[in-house]
Structure 1
Amino acid sequence: MGIMDFVKNGVQELMIARPDDKKNLLVYKHPDPTIPHFSQLTVDADESAVFFRDGSLVGTLRTAGAGQRHTLSAQNIPFLSNLVDNFTGGNIFTTDLFFVTMRPIYNVPFGDALGMMEDPALGEMVTPRVFGRMAFQVEDPEKLILRYLGIRATTEAEQADWVKRTLIASVKTVVGTYGDQNGVSLLQMMGMTQQLKEEFVKGAPELNDIGIKILEIADFNLNLNEEEYARLQEAQAEIGAAKRAARVANIGIA
């Protein structure tokens, strides 16, 4: 039975919920953009239901309580009045409905090259790599969907890859900023995993921009290939030699 059959037959209830086999998705989009008035919406305690129309945010619902459902009526939920389709006599809401997982997601592996970047202290161009595991949680489901609309990752693997790629961009930003602010090189940061993990938890800009917060980073490893590692060691040795020479000249030792 289709949506128009519900309207024609005067049926006022339709059960809407995320299917059990989609519970593992970070974002699940309800497949039908037309929802009858008085439909019963189930929002689990660990998710949000985010309503969009024409690419714009309309409103968000959290759980109605254990074993409870939301009755989708503009009288009960005022923002739904912005979704009324007048061409159906006002009996239908037209919306893109997204279910967003809000519970913490643990033990997500990541690893990739950060791309070419300048060592903050030594000035050499290198391509560091990072590996580890992360735990994260959606803090802002509306912001997440606004960014999600641009990528449309529909499978669990695609969504995980999106988050991981965004994390890698955040790691590059945090590593560069930390090095600049503290005057330390990548060689030094390779031994500062605890400090860097704390910086990621404190704020990972690109992830924050899509509404996600890092809860924990584990087994973090920042490294370089052998050639780049040797090049940074050489640059560090040259800077050390120059500093020693400057100190000698400053105290007038021939």
Structure 2
Amino acid sequence: MAWLEREFIAVPDNRKNQLVYKWPDANIRRFSRVIVNSGEVALFVHTGQVAGLMTPGKHRVDATELPGLGALLDVLSGGNAYRAELYFVGTREYPGNKFGGRLDDIVDPRSEQIVTLRVFGEYALTVRDPAALVTGLIGTVDLADPDQVTAWCSELLLRSMRIAVTSGITKGRWPVLGLSAHMPEIDTEVLSVTNQQLRRYGLLITRMGNFDINLAPEDADRLKRLAKDTRYIELAGGFGQYAAGELALGAGQGMAHGGDSALGGAFLGAGLGLGAVHQQLAAQPRHSPAGDAMGRQHTVACARCRAVHPAATSFCTSCGERLSAERRCTGCGADLPADVRFCGTCGTRSTGG
């Protein structure tokens, strides 16, 4: 059986950076040589149980060296093979694992706005119990796929971060705007929650790096505008004063770009004090003193040229004749308005008509 000793089993060079590598053949020949490199261990697994473990070095596959393999001889191969799965598990630190995505829709306690939080970053992963990793994940993920283990860890980390961050914000410990100032606290709490769940799978996230929690762009802009407006209202002393100031600012910008001057002046007046303008308008008389109750203007006609003038005019601006607002009917003596040609009492034609 010396020819069987020439078979060597080891992790291929292009797979040495994998966290878990599964040997493709489930029939491991007796007396094969297994090469376990530094920073990894090898495990024989049968029906979900670890039958043998090999540390870094060269090992001969035989029940003498690995007693757990004694009952796993393959009868079909004439007792020349062990029926078991062989896994190589790295024990060093694996940095640069990416994770990220949507955390949750959450109500900002300060603004009472619903916003969407997202996170993106990296983390470093290591195996603290290779046997627990292999037996715990068999049936959960495909250990032969190099990306599924880290993808599973990334998803678990994202779920843990969702719990920790949403809880911290809703309880008022962390603000939605300015979360970056609390990253050390978030890092510590998230790692604690995540590693509690990873411990039973023999995994440990040693550190996180270059991760950032942020808002969707439209939510960030909305909260910033709201925060600015709220602060300005506080400084102005109320919403009315703030609205007047915003109106004046908008009118000023419109005038600077060639807007209508009268309209701009009206807006500017409103901006400088809507209440003051209203009081000034209320103090003004509703009708002209020279008008009647309906607001119509009284006039007087020149007796010489019949030119019409406002009632308060003393001389005709056309011929210079002196105007008199007091006229009487020559028939009955009744007072006549300056612009009337017939007496309303007796019907006599006025001398100035």
| Counterpart check, 1:71 vs 2:60 | yes
Answer 1 or 2: higher relative contact order, Cα 8 Å, separation at least 6.
1
- Which residue pairs with 2:3 in the alignment? 11
Of 196, 212, 219, which aligns to 2:186? 196
- Offset of 1:187 from its aligned partner? 2.3
- Which residue pairs with 1:152 in the alignment? 142
Of 6, 9, 31, which aligns to 1:38? 31
- Offset of 1:34 from its aligned partner? 0.6
Q: In the aligned structure 2, how far is the partner of 1:141 from the partner of 1:222? A: 32
- Offset of 1:72 from its aligned partner? 1.4
Task: Verify the 8 A CA contact 2:174 2:182 in the aligned structure 1.
Answer: no
Q: In the aligned structure 1, how far is the partner of 2:33 from the partner of 2:107? A: 55
Structure 1 stretches lacking a partner, 5+ long: 1-8, 238-254
One-letter amino acid matched to 2:190: F
- Offset of 1:112 from its aligned partner? 1.0
> Number of matched residues?
221
- Offset of 1:130 from its aligned partner? 1.1
- Which residue pairs with 1:128 in the alignment? 117
| Counterpart check, 1:108 vs 2:101 | no
| Counterpart check, 1:214 vs 2:205 | yes
- Which residue pairs with 1:139 in the alignment? 128
Q: In the aligned structure 2, how far is the partner of 1:106 from the partner of 1:151? A: 21
* SS of the residue 2:186 aligns to: helix
Q: In the aligned structure 2, how far is the partner of 1:117 from the partner of 1:86? A: 61
Q: In the aligned structure 1, how far is the partner of 2:144 from the partner of 2:154? A: 15
Q: In the aligned structure 2, how far is the partner of 1:82 from the partner of 1:186? A: 60
Relative to structure 1, the CA distance from residue 19 to residue 139 in structure 2 (aligned partners, 3 Å threshold; closer, same or farther) is same
Relative to structure 1, the CA distance from residue 195 to residue 80 in structure 2 (aligned partners, 3 Å threshold; closer, same or farther) is same
One-letter amino acid matched to 1:132: G
Root-mean-square deviation (CA, aligned residues, Å) is 3.3
* SS of the residue 1:35 aligns to: strand
- Which residue pairs with 1:20 in the alignment? 13
Relative to structure 1, the CA distance from residue 33 to residue 112 in structure 2 (aligned partners, 3 Å threshold; closer, same or farther) is same
* SS of the residue 2:155 aligns to: helix
Deviation per residue, 1:175-212 (Å, 9 max, x gap): 356568x7524527823101111233445144334322
Task: Verify the 8 A CA contact 1:121 1:183 in the aligned structure 2.
Answer: no
- Which residue pairs with 1:95 in the alignment? 84
- Offset of 1:57 from its aligned partner? 3.1
- Offset of 1:119 from its aligned partner? 7.6
- TM-score (norm: length of structure 1): 0.71
- Offset of 1:46 from its aligned partner? 0.9
- Which residue pairs with 1:84 in the alignment? 73
* SS of the residue 1:132 aligns to: strand
Q: In the aligned structure 2, how far is the partner of 1:48 from the partner of 1:179? A: 42
- Offset of 1:135 from its aligned partner? 1.4
* SS of the residue 2:125 aligns to: strand
One-letter amino acid matched to 2:132: K
- Offset of 1:114 from its aligned partner? 2.1
